[in-house]
Amino acid sequence: MQSRTCIAMATCIPAGSGTLQFTVTNCKGNSCRKTALVSDAPIARFLRKDLSWSKAVSKVPQTHRCAFSAASLGKNHKLFKVISSCKVDGHTRCFDFSVIGSGIAGLRYALEVAKYGSVAVITKAESHECNTNYAQGGISAVLCPSDSVESHMKDTIVAGAYLCDEESVRVVCTEGPERVKELIAMGASFDHGEDGNLHLMREGGHSHHRIVHAADMTGKEIERALLEAVINNPNIFVFEHHFAIDLLTCQDGSDIICLGVDTLNTKTLEVIRFLSKVTLLASGGAGHIYPKTTNPLVATGDGIAMAHRAQAVISNMEFVQFHPTALADEGLPIKPTKLREKAFLISEAVRGDGGILYNLSMERFMLMYDERAELAPRDVVARSIDDQLKKRGEKYVLLDISHKPKEEILSHFPNISATCLQHGLDITRHPIPVVPAAHYMCGGVQAGLQGETNVKALYVAGEVACTGLHGANRLASNSLLEALVFARRAVQPSVDCMKSSNLDLTASNLWPRPTVPLSNITDKILSMTKESRTELQTIMWNYVGIVRSTMRLETAKQKIGKLETKWEECLFQHGWKPTMAGLEICEMRNLFCCAKLVINSALSRHESRGLHYTVDFPHLEESKRLPTIIFPSSTVNSTWSSRQLHKQHQIVSQHI
């Protein structure tokens, strides 16, 4: 059966109700009684046509902001109780804050909230293995006197095909410079010019030089500085190799509340439950729904899928950004000996620094598509390259920077130069073979201006979030900036929510624990899962790529539906249970979920805007300049990828 979702333009879903009693025990062994709500009735749905984009979360009638009755943020830490890290049992840990993800958004947030409580940073692999670490270009911010916030806003909105939320854009562009200065104060080292000022690059879609960078390894430098600060912070506990399985949610009247997350320690194969008053989801994107992506292997859409299963609102998933210039291995003098796990990115800054795109006949082609040529926004450049490849039957195009001084090339792009040289290509003398690759999800979990979601105590920041900043297409180097700004904006409401929380964090037995299957079960299904993953990626690339059509999208929906059914049948025939957890199987579950969200969103948009281009509706339609919003419907008869492993509990919180 296909998973069922409700898709609409700026609409929302209320929840049901019922009652149940239960008893829980806190860290000190004290017992308390609370009232819970239980309902098996399907979720009711309704539409609101007057819901504005950036305010959509806070205006939903059933969604209430955390009560800010406690004292405001300040230095007096005695104003509220801080729960230090403690074990309820061998497999349960309690924290004030849980952060899922160790990229720029998660770490920056953790460093701030650690001033007010204990923090668990939960990361899927090593702490540095995230999209941030591979970001080459830099951070865009207005730091030059000749630049302005208004100019940055205009560039962002134009690149976003006028679907951006203006309030979100203003917030990011205004607060961005201060967030960058904070990074520098924390020890992040960026390139400076001969005059001693920050060296600012210009990239596609930008009207000014405003890209702060550390050569072509900006993300790596930011991650280094943040991780160093995190390691030295006694209130932050980092849990590497902990894969997030599902969010722990319950229902309090009309509110859905997040109380933490179940994880799988992929080294010990133990299920570890994290209970927390506040959870930040900063788990990155879903690049691996495609076979060619610049994202690391960890980017399997886990956060978006978990949030969707937890009934969080999802928005704008049709807008998948394909970076125009990933290194095309087919064109290298010395081919890689094995298939890359992720495509190697050739930074936007190469074109910003004067790089020119040619087809294999050395004909410059971008001026045929856009007067901005190589400095056009990414969606335009990616479609132009795609058109050239299809018309000419070629596998890649060429990006040439060799006309620039050798010293300048090596200084600005040392990582790109060294990587290409390993494969026999000297970029100071020869053009670089490039091809588009899946790069960034502009959609995600819908967030308000403080990173809040429609699920209480659940905040989002970074690529997993859809804040309205990017609209239909992300402007180059705006992603790291957005992560910094929204991670910081989520701090105060998170702390206030933590202080006012009356929920007992030791309610560890409210949900049945996921189980880890015996190896004889997983051995039988891992090969099938690997084949299904490759097939799903191929379907997405062939039918839900840079240029789309209704027929191809419908074909993708049908093919993926059949593939998922076949995969699930294989799982359960070989002894898998719906409450079991394993890394590869749960990743596949999340990939299916995210792929369906992208397809359903794309089918609902009957126009071409930004990153979503369809031959059936090739023009912009002003009447359709609205976000695509997905709400979960009843999980009855839905697929495993669309359901939480545990049954959601309903409670009414009372003062202890």
Give the 3-state secondary structure of residue 227: helix
Write out the catalytic residue numbers: 378
pLDDT at 521: 74
Task: Report, as an integer, the average pLDDT of 423-450.
Answer: 97
9-29 residue pLDDT tens:
432 322 222 222 222 222 333
CA 512 – CA 271 distance, rounded (Å) = 11
101-158 residue pLDDT tens:
999 999 999 999 999 999 999 999 876 666 565 566 789 999 999 999 999 999 999 9
- Give the percent of the chain with pLDDT over 90: 71
Amino acid at 327: L
How do 242-252 and 649-650 pair as beta strands? parallel
Token representation of residue 458:
């659940």
pLDDT at 642: 81
Under 8 Å between Cβ of 365 and 388: yes
Task: Please tell me the least confidently modeled range out of 58-72, 344-358, 414-428, 467-481.
Answer: 58-72
Instruction: Give 159's Cβ-side CA count (13 Å radius).
Output: 30
Token representation of residue 381:
């450049």
* Torsion region of 252: left, alpha or beta (phi above 0 gives left; psi -120 to 50 gives alpha): beta
Q: Model confidence at 204, in pLDDT bands (50, 70, 90)?
A: confident
Task: Report, as an integer, the average pLDDT of 477-498.
Answer: 97
Using the structure block, give the residue that is written with the tokens 């929920």. Answer: 503
Q: Model confidence at 86, in pLDDT bands (50, 70, 90)?
A: low
Q: Model confidence at 183, in pLDDT bands (50, 70, 90)?
A: very high
pLDDT at 501: 85
pLDDT at 194: 87
CA-based nearest residue to 319, from 463, 459, 219: 463
pLDDT at 203: 86
pLDDT at 9: 43
Under 8 Å between Cβ of 177 and 154: no
E strands along 334-463, which residues? Answer: 356-358, 397-400, 432-441, 444-446, 458-460
The answer, yes or no, to whether residue 42 has pLDDT greater than 60, is no
For residue 523, how many other CB atoms are within 10 A of its CB? 11
Q: Model confidence at 443, in pLDDT bands (50, 70, 90)?
A: very high
Strands of 5-9's sheet in order across:
5-9, 628-632, 314-315, 444-446, 465-466
Token representation of residue 623:
């009447």
550-562 residue pLDDT tens:
999 999 999 999 9
- Which domains are present in the chain? 322-439 (3.90.700.10), 521-630 (1.20.58.100)
pLDDT at 18: 27
Average pLDDT, the chain: 84
* Torsion region of 475: left, alpha or beta (phi above 0 gives left; psi -120 to 50 gives alpha): beta
pLDDT at 134: 59
CA 201 – CA 477 distance, rounded (Å) = 10
Q: Model confidence at 84, in pLDDT bands (50, 70, 90)?
A: very low
Q: Model confidence at 263, in pLDDT bands (50, 70, 90)?
A: very high
- Evaluate the CA torsion angle 454, 133, 342, 480 in order and state its sign: positive
pLDDT at 7: 52
> How many residues does the structure list for the chain?
656
Q: Model confidence at 425, in pLDDT bands (50, 70, 90)?
A: very high
Token representation of residue 382:
């990616």
319-328 residue pLDDT tens:
999 999 999 9
CA 243 – CA 585 distance, rounded (Å) = 12
The answer, yes or no, to whether residue 413 has pLDDT greater than 50, is yes
Under 8 Å between Cβ of 318 and 601: yes
562-618 residue pLDDT tens:
999 999 999 999 999 999 999 999 999 999 999 999 999 999 999 999 999 999 999
